[in-house]
């Protein structure tokens, strides 16, 4: 089913609809920006707000969703949005940015932690529609923090290195509220910063009064992924997989070295994996590694064992029933499995895993690339340096 599309001429009076497309203009200049016509704010940058940065009536967060060093992302199943601040190049202090985006984040999360929610503006999330000029997609109404994220984790200053220069930027976690449509009348009252706003969304009003989050949860309707969904989703991911495949093709230990790499990738994916030890290549029993997944906290926890199988295949070489069955048949009672491949799992094998209820997690080519990028391996140089440990 196609997404709803709002023409550029309609934007001034349009409601905001989740995942609808808002077309840009065709004049070929900054006036083509649809967010300006929709929200009455600026036409450049990731932070676009009304008012001064310490007294904002509303704020738009815009992302192209394609920056590998600062990978903004939407977690649809949790209803969360991870957004990085605007200090993305060295030479500036954390809050010393032209658009004052990091100051906006600091003020919002300071007020959140002080329970001064009425001082926090609503945030409107937009992303670029790839390959469509200035057109954008509305992703939702958001507020800072989340119900399952602590005050020490919802806004974190992280270090990055560029060349020989170190600098900090914010990583912020927002909750996208369960509001499918945002009324134009409310947006208009926010633009004018008037008292007695009308048509305030219920979940936003509840959050202001009580601090209770009502996230927009959207679990996938289909649990198995197509081959296309498992393969690299952009040229950067494709390049990462190409470099990994080339590296291990020429490695003296070949497939066994990749198995060690896969074990580390699994631990990068989930910090609850406290160990993942590779088995000897001539006595693996159908498992390339055995690991332990810890559930709980330091004073009260239980450990669950898992088995890992890794395949360093070319992108067009699928992993079929033969490969996945090898792992499944070796799973012991109360174990789960992780199957990691630089290619993809065939539809038949994937469907059998899901439909037969096998406790197997599949990490394909796109997953490997995303895990590396999310863990700060954001350039080809970083990747090649990281691979040297294997």
pLDDT digits (tens, 9 = 90+) for 119-175: 999 999 999 998 888 899 999 999 999 999 999 999 999 888 777 788 888 999 999
Q: Could you give the angle at the alpha carbon of 99 between the alpha carbons of 190 and 88, nearest 5°?
A: 130
- Give CA–CA dist 266/269, Å, rounded: 5
Q: How do residues 47-78 score in pLDDT, each as one tens digit?
A: 998 877 778 889 999 999 888 778 899 999 99
- For the domain made up of 227-387, the CATH class stated in words is alpha beta
> Does position 280 have pLDDT exceeding 70, yes or no?
no
Under 8 Å between Cβ of 331 and 339: no
The pLDDT > 90 percentage for the chain reads 67
In three-state secondary structure terms, 17 is strand
- 227-387 shares the fold of 5-210: no
Among candidate residues 269, 252, 229, the one with its CA nearest the CA of residue 365: 229
Q: How do residues 163-206 score in pLDDT, each as one tens digit?
A: 778 888 899 999 999 999 999 999 988 876 556 678 899 999 99
Q: Any idea where the domains of the chain sit in the sequence? A: 5-210, 227-387
| pLDDT value of residue 99 | 67
Among candidate residues 59, 62, 63, 26, the one with its CA nearest the CA of residue 40: 59
Q: Which two tokens stand for residue 302?
A: 């239980």
Among candidate residues 341, 337, 342, the one with its CA nearest the CA of residue 353: 337
* Count of other CB atoms within 10 angstroms of residue 2: 5
5-210 placed in CATH 2.30.280.20: yes
């Amino acid at each position: 089913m196609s997404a709803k599309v709002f023409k550029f001429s309609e934007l001034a009076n349009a409601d905001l609809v989740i995942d609808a497309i808002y077309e840009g203009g065709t004049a070929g200049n900054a006036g083509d920006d649809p967010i300006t016509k929709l929200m009455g704010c600026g036409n450049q940058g990731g932070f676009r707000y009304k008012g001064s940065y310490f007294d904002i009536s509303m704020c738009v967060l815009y992302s192209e969703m394609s920056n590998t060093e600062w990978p903004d992302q939407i977690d649809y199943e949790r209803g969360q949005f991870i957004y990085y601040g605007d200090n993305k190049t060295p030479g500036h202090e954390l809050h010393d940015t032209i658009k004052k985006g990091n100051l906006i984040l600091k003020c919002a999360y300071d007020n959140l932690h002080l329970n001064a929610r009425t001082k926090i503006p609503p945030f409107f999330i937009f992303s670029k529609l790839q390959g469509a000029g200035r057109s954008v997609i509305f992703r939702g109404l958001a507020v800072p923090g989340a119900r399952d994220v602590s005050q020490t984790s919802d806004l974190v200053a992280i270090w990055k290195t560029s060349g020989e220069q170190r600098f900090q930027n914010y990583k912020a976690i927002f909750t996208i509220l369960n509001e499918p449509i945002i009324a134009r009348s409310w947006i208009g009252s926010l633009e004018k910063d008037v008292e007695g706003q009308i048509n305030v969304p219920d979940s936003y009003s509840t959050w202001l009064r009580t601090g209770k989050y009502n996230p927009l949860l959207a679990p996938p309707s289909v649990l198995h992924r197509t081959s296309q969904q498992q393969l690299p989703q952009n040229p950067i991911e494709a390049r990462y997989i190409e470099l990994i495949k080339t590296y291990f093709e020429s490695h003296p230990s070949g497939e066994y070295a990749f198995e060690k790499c896969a074990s580390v990738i699994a631990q990068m994916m989930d910090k609850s994996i406290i160990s993942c030890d590779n088995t000897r290549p001539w006595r693996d029993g159908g498992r390339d590694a055995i690991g332990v997944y810890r559930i709980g906290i330091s004073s009260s926890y239980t450990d669950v064992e898992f088995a890992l199988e890794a395949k360093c295949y070319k992108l067009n070489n699928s992993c079929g029933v033969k490969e996945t069955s090898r792992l499944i048949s070796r799973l012991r009672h109360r174990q789960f499995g992780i199957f990691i491949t630089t290619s993809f799992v065939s539809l038949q094998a994937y469907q059998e895993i899901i439909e037969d209820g096998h406790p197997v997690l599949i990490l394909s080519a796109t997953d490997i690339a995303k895990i590396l990028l999310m863990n700060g391996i954001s350039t080809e140089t970083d990747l090649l340096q990281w691979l040297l440990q294997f």
